């Protein structure tokens, strides 16, 4: 397990998403990441309720942990994230993000309770927002979290095209962070459609954590692709 401090998060972080990997040869995908310059591994958890897809659970994360010391960035795309926190903390998560949209039902716990539980585990906490969700809804939680996840595709499937309007949202969040003197505390993660040709544009908008799936794992040389992105 690798804990990523706030000062390290201020640097560019490339987080390959194994959702786009070949699951029949997952060990090779993990080895590519271990042998590259990346420091994070992005793990998308889907329950086929919050999003129309089903991925994997804590047992798979626990098995992957046996083969990697990378920072495990667990992204919960589930309808009731609170119920899953303990399982993924125990599985080896170093950071957990949950969707603000998943906390809107009266049958789920409010965001502050999730934030407190994640932080008490001494891991990083993020809040994710879908492309159609405005930033304003999470502003009151910014001082309590470590990163915002800006979804630049509709969550659920790898290989989608980058939604260009995400750039304006990233700029808005970066301005808010700087104005509120949260620059040393809160990072911006952009997740979805990240390619070598648009990564710099996303970074210039203010994101410093880039999640890349298909661009990495569908390339001829995943290690080289990660390293090129890391050098932007």
Q: Annotated catalytic sites, by residue? A: 44, 191
Query: Which are the contacts of 219, defined by CB distance < 8 A and separation ≥ 6?
Result: 225
Which secondary structure element, helix H or strand E, spans residue 99, and what is its range?
Answer: strand 95-99
Q: Report the C-alpha gap between 58 and 47 in whole angstroms.
A: 12
CA distance linking residue 138 with residue 127, whole number of Å: 8
Alpha helix positions (H), 121-163:
none
- Residue 41: beta bridge partners? 72
Contact between 20 and 217 under an 8 Å Cβ cutoff? The reply is: yes
What whole-number distance in Å separates Cα of residue 128 and Cα of residue 148? 6
Helix, strand, or coil (residue 61): helix
Contact 138, 104 (CB under 8 A): no
DSSP β-bridge partners for residue 98: 76, 127
What span, in angstroms and rounded, lies between the C-alpha atoms of 53 and 12?
29
């Amino acid at each position: 397990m690798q804990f990523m401090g706030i000062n390290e998060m201020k640097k560019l972080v490339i987080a390959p998403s194994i959702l786009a990997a070949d699951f029949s040869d997952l060990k090779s995908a993990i080895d590519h990441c271990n042998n590259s310059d990346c420091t994070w591994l992005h793990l998308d958890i889907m329950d086929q309720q919050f999003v129309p897809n089903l991925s994997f659970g804590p047992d798979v994360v626990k098995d992957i942990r046996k083969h990697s010391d990378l920072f495990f960035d667990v992204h919960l795309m589930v309808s009731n994230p609170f119920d899953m926190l303990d399982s993924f903390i125990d599985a080896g998560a170093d950071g957990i993000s949950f969707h603000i949209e998943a906390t809107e039902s009266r049958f789920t716990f409010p965001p502050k309770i999730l934030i407190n539980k994640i932080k008490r585990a001494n891991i990083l906490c993020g809040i994710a927002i879908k492309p159609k969700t405005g930033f304003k809804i999470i502003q009151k939680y910014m001082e309590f979290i470590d990163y915002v996840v800006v979804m630049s595709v509709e969550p659920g499937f790898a290989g989608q095209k980058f939604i260009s309007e995400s750039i304006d949202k990233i700029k808005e969040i970066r301005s808010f962070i700087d104005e509120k003197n949260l620059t040393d505390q809160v990072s911006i993660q952009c997740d979805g459609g990240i390619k070598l040709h648009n990564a710099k544009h996303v970074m210039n908008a203010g994101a410093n954590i880039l999640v890349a799936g298909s661009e990495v794992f569908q390339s001829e040389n995943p290690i080289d692709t990660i390293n090129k992105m890391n050098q932007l």
